[in-house]
Amino acid sequence: MIGKLACKLGSRMAAVTYSIIQVRRFLHDAHFRVQSSVQEALASGKPIVALESAIIAHGMPYPQNLSMARNVEEIVRTHGSVPATVGILNGKIHIGLNDEELHFLAKSENLVKVSRRDLPYVLSQGSSGGTTVSGTMIAAHKAGIHVFVTGGIGGVHRGGEITMDVSTDLTELGRTPVAVVSAGVKSILDIGRTLEFLETQGVCVAAFGESREFPAFFCRQSGFQAPYQVQNEEEAAKLIASILALGLSSGVLIAVPCPKEQAASGQIFEDAIQQALKEARSKGIIGKELTPFVLQRVNELTSGKSLDSNIALVQNNARVGSRIAVALGKLKKAQGKGNLPQSGRATAPQPVVIGGTNVDFIAKARNATMLVGGQTNTGKVSRTFGGVGRNLADCLSRLGRTPFFISAMGKDEHSESILRYCSHMDMGGVLQLEGHNTATYCAVITGSGELSLGLGDMDIHQQITEHYVSRYKQHLCMAPVVCIDGNVPIATIQYVCQIAREHQVPVSF
């Protein structure tokens, strides 16, 4: 029975592949537009750095905002990562912007400043806007991007203990697992109360570099110490990897001081901030309009010095963030698996998927009628990554319910390609065996789309044994659901069903 199921994978593959296409169409057509360079980076496991667009739409005047945005993206590329600037255009969340789209956000007026609260309304109205830290974190997490670079995050406003004016950036850091690289907190805010609020939200905060001094945007010193310190990008990458491996829902704040040569005099800026805040109070400016107003007035009162510092610190953050993303990518590769370290995952209830991983070769003839008897038919041959179990785990991962995937592969060039492609998945349960072939399937299809024949090399699936799967018994016992395909041995299916029955875990075959 199992052998027949394996041989029928060719016809079933079309349906499963169609489901993946449907998932991707949902992401693109419903709410998201992912730039091709970002798509390629996600598929191949290249390091990616998310960038916000509120700084373009609301944080700086034109044309400095546009040149800054272009320059920051180029810095990210220069230091080894793919930039993914996030913005809202005509009711769609764009992850990665082309130059025309950057220009639109930089020059357009009356754009919405989009945080978590604003996303549903802006999308429903088909509006455009720049994403704040919280809005960008949501988009980055949905796309599977772990590192996000900004200028400075929002925080508790001065007098916030009375007004309750607290930026949603802080609560987003407490519930979205993305690493935010910033120059600390904007100096116009109450930094002490902001750090206290981050502690309440369970956010890990670490100063980057030689000092534990927590930076204050324009200024390198704030008078407050960060709870922790990472001295370089490798230490920062290990910190991020640990948070992701633990399955925590909170993010991490990496606070990078502004370069010394562009750092501002604290007293000059404090005087300008106090003047700007006084003017804001007299004009009744509050809420999300307060920060852009104060930053603009501080820039005017300091004769442009604050804007110079702002641009310099964003560029510096881009350099640091890109290097952290590269170090995180190297750390993933060093694990010998396609994902981050999995220590601690056993205690987090993940769905479990058990099944086959294939490399599929689809050969489609040009003509509806094929020549037989050893003759060559013209057509096209393409390679995709399949396997019923792998496809299902991929779909769940892209929908934000990353499962623990148990499968088996050889240790060959095919497995290396699969691990790169599946970098967004939890591949901690995938067995790699020397001297075995990674499963491959070849389908020959006529020009009219009919399956002519299929050929499968799938012996490796028999290595997904009861003994191997039992290593992950704790995952099975705690899973909200277990999905298993027909490629695995019957004894393994029986073992999984027995464990699931004992612990009242639903099973999908």
Answer yes or no: are the C-beta atoms of 242 and 223 closer than 8 Å: no
What is the three-class DSSP state of 480?
coil
Return the CA Rg of the chain. 26
The reply to whether 52 belongs to the active site is yes
Residues 6+ apart with CB under 8 A from 432: 336, 408, 409, 410, 411, 415
Angle between helix axes 266-283 and 305-334 (nearest 10 degrees) is 110
> Which of 173, 239, 218 lies closest to 200, judged by CA?
173
Using CA atoms, how far apart are residues 394 and 422, in angstroms rounded to an integer? 8
Structure tokens at 261: 């040569």
Q: Which residue in 46, 142, 186, 337 is the catalytic one? A: 186
> Which of 343, 307, 320 lies closest to 253, judged by CA?
320
456 forms beta bridges with: 441
Answer yes or no: are the C-beta atoms of 218 and 267 closer than 8 Å: no
Q: Which residue in 52, 73, 172, 213 is the catalytic one? A: 52
> Which of 360, 463, 350, 372 lies closest to 421, judged by CA?
360
The reply to whether 364 belongs to the active site is no
What is the three-class DSSP state of 441?
strand
Q: Which amino acid is at 315?
A: Q
- The DSSP letter of residue 347 is G
H helices of 214-265, in order, are: 233-246
Using CA atoms, how far apart are residues 178 and 146, in angstroms rounded to an integer? 5
- For strand 439-445 and strand 379-386, is the pairing parallel, antiparallel, or unpaired? unpaired
Q: Which amino acid is at 406?
A: I
Handedness of CA 263, 268, 269, 270 (dihedral sign): positive
- The DSSP letter of residue 95 is E
User: Phi and psi dihedrals of 22, rounded to 5?
Assistant: -65, -40
Using CA atoms, how far apart are residues 71 and 241, in angstroms rounded to an integer? 28
Using CA atoms, how far apart are residues 312 and 296, in angstroms rounded to an integer? 16
Q: Helices then strands (H, E): number in the chain?
A: 20, 20
Using CA atoms, how far apart are residues 507 and 486, in angstroms rounded to an integer? 13
Catalytic residues: 52, 186
